[in-house]
């Protein structure tokens, strides 16, 4: 097992490195020089030429813009690894400050969506499999197809639409009650967040819930047809025990390994949902960075998000190996 973990860790580090390179390529993609653009922007803001010059020199030194590309990459990477993202001229804010809270909220929402979708999909999937072809099974199948066809963005729009046309609401979404938006973190604020979390979690988790129901149902049906289930029944175990201890254990495997793979979709869905609902998470920040043409910030955000995903995937794989002796014990 130890060697397998080591192998997988090395693989993860290589993937992370490739991710950072791709992120850097994206930073370099837009035509034109980042600094010239910034200069003209700063001029519009009526800063003195000395101020502009010092800001530009600072940036040049920071990103090594007057040096070869690989030096630029190394500087950017080292600052990223040190967790120091500097000051965004374009957004005129300290990036660390901007990013940390939003990143945490993004992960909280995505994680809540995942928990929400599992909590819903597991029992429904199992029930659908046990009562195959019942009316409830058909109902969930239809819901599942809807989930496929209604990605987060459309779902968010429809919910807004319903809120204003049916419920006459004037606002929807948000993560905090007005009095907590600017407040410092406190237990009361966390509680307030928890109260507001369900809607974004529902929207982000909806399509993956639908997908997970389908996977769980199919897996349960496959597993229930396996001879080892007959063996379990033959032993005199109760049907409850056969399902929970014998069938679920096997049926859940692909679901767990699918969790890692569903993460990019969840984060992706969170960004767009945040944009539609105006949530204070990474999505709007990324869009602002792009509109302000601060490619360094945009690239860093992308790499941080993807890095979180790669690590998440790694953890999902470890969980799977821990759950399944067939993987745990076979050294590839």
Partner 1 sequence: MEHSRVHNTNNNGRGGQPRLVLEVEDLYVSFGGYRGRTRAVNGVSFQIHQGEILGIVGESGCGKSVTALSLLKLVPMPPGRIDGGTISLHTDDTTVDVTALAQDSREIRAIRGRQISMIFQEPMRSLHPMFSIGDQIVEILLQHFAMNRRQALDKAVALLERVGLPEPARVVHEFPHQLSGGMRQRVMIAIALACEPQLLVADEPTTALDVTIQAQILELLQALQAEMGLAVMLITHDMGVVAEIADRVIVMYLGEIVETASVDQLFTNPQHPYTQGLLRSIPNWTDQPKTPLHSLAGAVPELLDLPAGCVFVERCPFADKVPGLRKPSLIETEPGHFVKCWLYTEEFVHARP
Partner 2 sequence: MAHPEPANPREEAAHVPSGKTEAAAYSYWGLIWWRYKRNRIGVVGGIALLLLYALVLPAELTAPYPLNERHTGFLDVPPQFIRFISPDGRFSPRPFVYGLKQERDPETLRRLYVPNEEEIYPLRLFVPGEESWTFLGLTWDRHLLGVESPGKLFLLGTDTQGRDLFSQLLYGGRISLTVGLVGVALSLVLGGIVGLISGYLGGIVDDLIQRGIEVMISFPSIPLWIALSAAIPAEWNSIQVFFGITVILSSIGWGGLARVVRGMTLSLQNEDYVKAGRINGATTWWIVTRHLFPGTLSYMIVAATLAIPGMILGETALSFLGLGIQPPMVSWGVLLKQAQDITVLAHKPWLIAPVFFLTVAVLSFNFLGDGLRDAADPFSGQ
Residue 41 contacts partner 2 per CB under 8 A: no
Q: For residue 47, is it left (φ>0), alpha (ψ between -120 and 50) or beta?
A: beta
Q: Binding of partner 2 at residue 172 (CB under 8 A)?
A: yes
Least distance (Å) between residue 141 CB and partner 1: 17
DSSP structure class, residue 179: G
Residue 21 Cβ, how far from partner 1 at the closest point, in Å? 39
Q: Is 109 exposed, middle or buried (0-12, 13-18, 19+ CB in 10 A)?
A: buried
CB of 244 to partner 1, least distance (A): 13
Which positions ≥6 away from 203 have C-beta within 8 Å?
152, 155, 156, 159, 269, 273, 277
Q: Is 178 in the site for partner 2 (CB under 8 A)?
A: no
Contact assessment for residue 306 and residue 23, using Cβ atoms and an 8 Å cutoff? yes
Instruction: Candidates 103, 150, 218, 315: give the one binding partner 2 (CB under 8 A).
Output: 150
Residues in contact with partner 2, shown as a per-residue x/- string from 271 to 310 under the rule CB under 8 A: xx--xx-----xx--xx--x--x-x--xx-xx--xx--xx
177 SS3 class: coil
* Interface with partner 1 (CB under 8 A): 226-228, 230-239, 246, 249-250, 323-326, 329-330
Give the contact letters, 6-35, x = binds to partner 2 (CB under 8 A), - = no.
--------xx--xx--x---x--xxx----
| Residue indicated by tokens 């979180």 | 308
- Minimum Å gap between C-beta 268 and partner 2 is 4
Residues in region 247-266 near partner 2 by CB under 8 A:
264-265
Burial class (CB in 10 A: 0-12, 13-18, 19+), 46: exposed
Q: Does 210 bind partner 2 (CB under 8 A)?
A: no
Asked if 60 contacts 296 with a C-beta cutoff of 8 angstroms, the reply is: no
Q: Reduced to 3 states, what is the DSSP secondary structure of residue 310?
A: helix
Q: Please give the Cα distance from 283 to 40 (Å, whole number).
A: 26
Under the rule (CB under 8 A), what is the footprint of partner 2?
A: 14-15, 18-19, 22, 26, 29-31, 145, 148-151, 153-154, 157-158, 160-161, 163-165, 170-172, 264-265, 267-269, 271-272, 275-276, 282-283, 286-287, 290, 293, 295, 298-299, 301-302, 305-306, 309-310, 313
């Amino acid at each position: 097992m130890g060697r397998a973990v080591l192998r997988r860790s090395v693989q993860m580090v290589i993937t992370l490195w490739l991710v950072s390179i791709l992120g850097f390529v994206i930073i370099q993609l837009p035509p034109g020089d980042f600094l010239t653009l910034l200069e003209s922007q700063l001029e519009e803001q009526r800063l003195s030429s000395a101020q502009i010059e010092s800001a530009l020199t600072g940036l040049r030194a920071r990103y090594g813009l007057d040096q070869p590309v690989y030096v630029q990459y190394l500087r950017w990477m080292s600052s990223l690894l040190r967790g120091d993202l500097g000051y965004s001229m374009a957004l005129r804010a300290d990036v660390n400050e901007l990013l940390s809270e939003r990143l945490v909220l993004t992960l909280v929402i995505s994680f809540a969506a995942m928990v929400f979708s599992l909590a819903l999909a597991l029992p429904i999937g199992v029930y659908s499999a046990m009562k195959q072809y019942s009316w409830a099974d058909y109902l969930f199948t239809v819901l599942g197809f809807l989930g496929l066809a209604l990605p987060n963005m459309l779902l968010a729009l429809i919910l807004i639409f319903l809120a204003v046309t049916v419920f006459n609401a004037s606002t929807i979404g948000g993560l905090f009650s007005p009095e907590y938006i600017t407040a410092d973190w406190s237990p009361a604020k966390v509680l307030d967040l928890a109260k507001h979390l369900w809607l974004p979690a529902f929207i982000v988790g909806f399509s993956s819930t639908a997908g997970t129901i389908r996977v769980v149902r199919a897996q349960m049906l496959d597993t229930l047809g396996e001879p080892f289930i007959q063996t379990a029944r033959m032993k005199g175990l109760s049907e409850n025990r056969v399902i929970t201890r014998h069938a679920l254990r096997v049926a859940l495997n692909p679901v767990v390994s699918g969790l890692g793979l569903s993460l990019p979709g969840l984060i992706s869905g969170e960004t767009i949902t945040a944009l539609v609902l105006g949530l204070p998470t990474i999505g709007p920040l990324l869009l602002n960075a792009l509109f302000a043409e601060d490619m360094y910030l945009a690239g860093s955000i992308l790499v941080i998000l993807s890095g979180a995903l790669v690590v998440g995937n790694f953890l999902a794989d470890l969980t799977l190996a821990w759950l399944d002796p067939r993987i745990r014990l076979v050294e590839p």
